[in-house]
Amino acid sequence: MANSSKSLQDIVHSLDQGGLVPVIRIAMFAALIITLTLLYLFVQFRGLSSPTAMDQAQIARQLAQGNGFSTQYIRPLAIWQLESAGKKIPQGAFPDFFQSPLNPLINAIPLKMIESSWKLSPTDLVYIGDRVVAGTAILLFFLSIGVWYLVASQLFDKLVALVGCAIVLLSDLMWQFSLSGLPQMLLLFLLSAASWLTLKAMEKRDETIPSLAFLFGAGAVFGLMVLAHGAAFWIFLGWLAFALFYFQPRGIAALVALAALLLVTLPWAARNYSVCGNPLGLAGYELVAPVNTAESGYLRSISETPPLAGIHPFNRLKNAVFNQSETIFPFLGMNIVAVAFFISLLHRFKSPASAAFRWCVVFMWLGAFVGMGLCGVKGTVSSNQFHVLFIPIFVFFGLAFLLVLWNRLEISIPPLRSAFLGVVIFLCALPMLATLFAGKDMAIQWPPYVPPFIAVLGEWYGKDEAIATDMPWATAWYAQRKSVLLPKTIKDFNRISDFRVLGVPISGLYLTPVTGNLPLFSDIYKGPYTDWVFMITRPPNVQGFSLPVFTPLPIDGECILFADRDRWSRRE
């Protein structure tokens, strides 16, 4: 009994002395992480909704199957690219040279672990593969928070690091990107690593060899970022501009980092050149084609080069300045502390590292801004949205600035300071609270995705057939069938099918709300789908079409399947 009392006294004494405070903080953080993960991944999650995420996921599954970097999503422009380069059109596994490779490569590992569950059952509203991809992104999110904590501790102190990480963890936009399956969480982790290595190089600035070693490491990490998303090269250019001005010797320091990036990225460029005759694959065409017209425009052509946008790059950047400036608050997750970063640029931080590194952040963000302007940003949660990557570092600087302002009030009452920080955290968490308490309207991402109804196409069609569709990323992922992006013309469709360009016939045409919900005259009658108007409108006119049999599919007949014969009726 005496021993028990003594142990209790030791625990109380440890608490009084602060010995268990770090343990308590870790336990609280762990409980918060587990709670948020369960709420978002198993309550809020409705499945993947991004074409890029589904496309990369099905490539990851191909990797897990041992098929290499191949794809079941066939773009007509990819056929044109191979033919233009004098390459033979593969009759089996079709190589992918559109998506960046790193995110699929990472997702292939957990997908391989659930190989026995790849087939989607009719009762699965949310595909287990979707949860695995989202879960992997959440794990990368957590890892990035750990590295960002180290970055903030080096720039400021543990209080700013801890509170800043809590604010980031409570940012709804970060979780929405985690659930999207897009490569942003991978990019976030790599950017945190590059930032930490840059700070280490700044710390060793007067020691040439150690500084160059850290810069080489930072360049290699930026190379991985480019392999995760090609447009991340613009972030590296911003970082390189800072490195040129800050590190000595200037030319050598920048060249070392650039050499590391090229060492990481050139093998993939060489692979693309070997496969399709273009080191950038198909990704480079988005810089010369109209913004945000990939799947509805130039990727659908099999007989002509992508049209030039007719817009000068400076006009694109001008439009980006106006568009992104108007929506910068939502792009930063409506986080008031992150926005405070821009005001903190007017403050002179005492720490030389903090004062210098914030300009590195500015240069990288400006590089990202240029890249987003040239490539186009479709929405708050989209594949080219890079503002989200800067939320953690913006939060750290913004929070440090707010604490400086608080200290100038000379209020020496600790509870009031804690209350101030509590209010700041609460205001940043409002979007998350709104999301969690609002619930979700539907259990699936409709329109246009109903995974079980898409997966049934895998039952109606065999592996030796192909389907043309307006959402091939979804049929490739859920139905696991070779899916051709709806060609620009019926003539192109017939050529791919009749001449067995892919080694298999196109036995189905699957149209969904992706085209059905478009404006009738601007996008269908007079737009990019003018050749398919009689198929998209209801009732369809199949006279003279090679797939004369059709049936409406759920939900409410908004999807329709054209086939060579009745594949859906139950027969004896």
pLDDT digits (tens, 9 = 90+) for 520-542: 888 888 888 999 999 998 889 88
Q: What is the mean pLDDT of the chain?
A: 90
The pLDDT value given to residue 310: 61
The pLDDT value given to residue 376: 84
What is the distance between the alpha carbons of residues 388 and 16, in angstroms, rounded to a whole number?
40
pLDDT in tens, 267-304: 999 999 999 999 999 988 887 777 777 787 889 999 87
Burial of 226 (0-12, 13-18, 19+ CB in 10 A): buried
Among the listed ranges 310-314, 450-454, 466-470, 504-508, which one has the minimum average pLDDT value? 310-314
Type and span of the H or E element at 402 = helix 391-408
**DSSP code of 411?**
-
136: left (phi over 0), alpha (psi -120 to 50) or beta: alpha
pLDDT in tens, 23-80: 777 888 788 899 999 999 999 999 999 999 999 999 999 999 999 999 999 999 999 9
- Higher pLDDT among residues 451 and 17, named by residue: 451
The mean pLDDT of 207-234, rounded to a whole number, is 95
Overall residue count recorded for the chain in this entry = 572
% of residues, the chain, pLDDT over 70? 94
Angle of helix 250-276 relative to helix 233-246, nearest 10 degrees, comes to 160
- Is the pLDDT confidence value at 16 over 60? no
Confidence of residue 322 (pLDDT cuts 50, 70, 90): confident
Strand, helix or coil for residue 550 = strand
Query: CA 543 → CA 497, 507, 529, 535, distances in Å?
Result: 18, 17, 18, 10
**DSSP code of 333?**
T
Contact 216/257 with Cβ under 8 angstroms? yes
The pLDDT value given to residue 475: 97
The pLDDT value given to residue 311: 63
What is the distance between the alpha carbons of residues 433 and 431, in angstroms, rounded to a whole number?
6
pLDDT in tens, 133-172: 999 999 999 999 999 999 999 999 999 999 999 999 999 9
The 3-state secondary structure of 44-70, one letter per residue:
HCCCCCCHHHHHHHHHHHHHHCCCCCE
73: left (phi over 0), alpha (psi -120 to 50) or beta: beta
- Is the pLDDT confidence value at 263 over 80? yes
The pLDDT value given to residue 97: 96
**DSSP code of 377?**
-
The pLDDT value given to residue 74: 97
The pLDDT value given to residue 94: 96
The mean pLDDT of 477-484, rounded to a whole number, is 97
**Cα pseudo-dihedral 171, 173, 179, 181, rounded to 10:** -130
The mean pLDDT of 86-109, rounded to a whole number, is 95
CB atoms within 10 A of CB 274: 13
Which pair of structure tokens corresponds to residue 207?
């020691």
- Is the pLDDT confidence value at 9 over 90? no
pLDDT in tens, 363-405: 999 999 999 988 888 889 999 999 999 999 999 999 999 999 9
Confidence of residue 572 (pLDDT cuts 50, 70, 90): very low
pLDDT in tens, 78-92: 999 999 999 999 988
- Give every CB contact of residue 42 below 8 A, 6+ residues apart in sequence: none
Burial of 488 (0-12, 13-18, 19+ CB in 10 A): buried
Confidence of residue 6 (pLDDT cuts 50, 70, 90): low
- Is the pLDDT confidence value at 14 over 70? no
- Give every CB contact of residue 136 below 8 A, 6+ residues apart in sequence: 106, 107, 110
105: left (phi over 0), alpha (psi -120 to 50) or beta: alpha
**DSSP code of 455?**
H
My answer on whether omega of the bond before 249 falls inside 30° of 0, hence cis, is yes
The mean pLDDT of 84-101, rounded to a whole number, is 94
424: left (phi over 0), alpha (psi -120 to 50) or beta: alpha
Contact 195/364 with Cβ under 8 angstroms? no
The pLDDT value given to residue 206: 83
First to last CA, the chain: 78
Angle at 390 between CA 170 and CA 29, to 5 degrees: 30
What is the distance between the alpha carbons of residues 482 and 507, in angstroms, rounded to a whole number?
11
Buried b (16+ CB within 10 A) or exposed e, 253-262: bbbbbbebbe
Among the listed ranges 50-54, 401-405, 475-479, 553-557, which one has the minimum average pLDDT value? 553-557
The pLDDT value given to residue 17: 53
**Cα pseudo-dihedral 129, 98, 277, 89, rounded to 10:** 50
Name which of 156, 165, 199, 151 is nearest 407 in CA terms.
156
Burial of 28 (0-12, 13-18, 19+ CB in 10 A): exposed
- Is the pLDDT confidence value at 11 over 70? no
What is the distance between the alpha carbons of residues 442 and 446, in angstroms, rounded to a whole number?
8
Residue with tokens 């959402």: 471
Q: Enumerate the domain spans of the chain.
A: 131-438, 451-563
CB atoms within 10 A of CB 485: 22
The pLDDT value given to residue 571: 45
